[in-house]
Structure 1
Amino acid sequence: MTTTTLSRDPRTQFGRTLTDLLGEDLSVALVYAEISGRFFTEAERRFPERVVNVGIREQLMVNVGAGMALTGLRPVVHSFGTFLVERAFEQVKLGFPHQGVGGVLVGGGGSFDASRSGRTHQVPGDVALLDTLPDVAIHAPGTSAETDEVLRRAVAADGLHYVRVVEQTNSESFSGPGLHVVRRGAGATVLAFGPVLDEVLTATADRDVTVLYAHSVRPFDAATLRAVLTVPDVVLVEPWLAGTSARVVSDALHDVPHRLLSLGTRRIELRHYGTPAEHQRAHGLDAAGIRRSLESFLTRSSL
């Protein structure tokens, strides 16, 4: 069963879809740490025995979720990504993969959604940190429709999943895991992960390049990348720490000589608040910034 009315806001959609899932499957439970409570009002009213707000205790939140998983439940564990992944990483590591149980971690805020809250609420390193754990499936939906789809898929699956829900969105939704071929070209191959696709398409509008898109980024779809690659130039654009996915791209092309440009949030400390759009621009992840980096990279390849 799918949600009848999709919200324009992925966080609102997360609340709606999860409420549906709690009603559809008695094994689904929610544990959260105060954050996003306004999205769970109906869920708490209808399913009080399977919705637990632990307060501002993120490590406890993860341990409660792991305990639920050990009893056979499928827990959805949610807070801002910085508190869920960075603050409670030891609990995630030991509570889920070390004990051989699964669940769905849903992180909000992303790299700079909460830009006005300062660095404490920003988590550009979440995907890189979770990449140190074995077999974690990672999803970065770029629309509300994709949020609905990946959450349903993650809850129905086994193992540990991370769903990164942010405010920035793409114009078009794509269904299913793996890499989607958005545009075919004779030149470089540009990979857009999550809600950076619109900026990538604008940046490459007059370039004869192939554009691939994925909202489910782990496991990585190596087969599609190898199948569409025409020239040895690959550009990776991801809305978290630059270079996070360079490893999986290089592994996919281990026997293919290639050049790789990795774009993402830079390893710099921005000690300014500003808006999310200003942070995006400062990291070179707006269309103009991506275009500048792409042109410099491709110019060097033609020398």
Structure 2
Amino acid sequence: MSWFLFALIGPFLYALTNHIDKHLLDKHFKQGGVGTLVLFSSLLSGAALPFIFWADPQALTVSSKHVFMLAMVGILNVAVLWCYLLALRKEEASVAIVFYQLVPVFGLILGYFLLSETISHFQFIAMTIIILGATIISFEIDVENNFKLRRETVTLMLAASFFWALGSVLFKYIALEENVWRSLFWEHLTLVLVGVFLFACIPSYRRHFLTALRTNSAPILSLNFLNEGLYILGNIVFSFAYLLGPISLILLVDSFQPIFVLAIGIFLTLFFPNFTREKIHLKHLVQKALAMSIVIFGTYLLFLSGGI
């Protein structure tokens, strides 16, 4: 298996989790679903800790400075998840995920302000193209073919993309100085601790989480466990993909996620409409395809410029 095919596994697994998240929010966790899924995701991250520690028993030797930075990465991951789930609660998965392609744009902006890096004219053009693609998907086409700004979705996904970019910068910096396993260990440990904090300190989250455990059937809870397992596996695969190929190309492969999300969404809508539904009228497909094409083209230009 080439590094390219291996790197594609991560975005594909993420795309699967996007649709499972949407299904759980729409069908099973309508009341307090965001808080419930945040707690599930945070607490179930602990399941990966024994395996990560087994892979690198020296995970506890990380310096206190790096532990603090990885704790920030874990907190940022929870913030990403919270914003994403709030957006996904009212939006199609294929629409919300397109905004994640703004992550490299925020990465360049953060590098400019925090690391005194420069932004070339070519990179600026590439960033503008990506923003154009995100702008196209920012408007909803109603039944009368009028355009309406997805204000809440845009705000939440912009925040999620910013938090993701900041967390990625911190994680990559530490992973290069330590290693992937140690970085993953402390990132997942922080996620568990954040989950414990939310469970203990936010009564509504705790109440809805316990209600979900009591009232949902074993298959539904198993689906949630599978969902978190796929996400954790995607993280591990994507982290190790950095070791197999050029980092810039690996990051470029991540732009395939919206394509996977749209393809899976169309498949589920046609053959398993009770699981999830996407708007697949011609006008909606054209809008999504156009936005994704422009965003991926901009991402490719950003790669050529050395921005990712």
Could you state the TM-score of these two structures normalised by the residue count of structure 2?
Answer: 0.25
Higher relative contact order (CA 8 A, sep 6+): 2
User: Where is the helix percentage greater, Structure 1 or Structure 2?
Assistant: 2
Could you state the TM-score of these two structures normalised by the residue count of structure 1?
Answer: 0.25
User: Where is the strand percentage greater, Structure 1 or Structure 2?
Assistant: 1
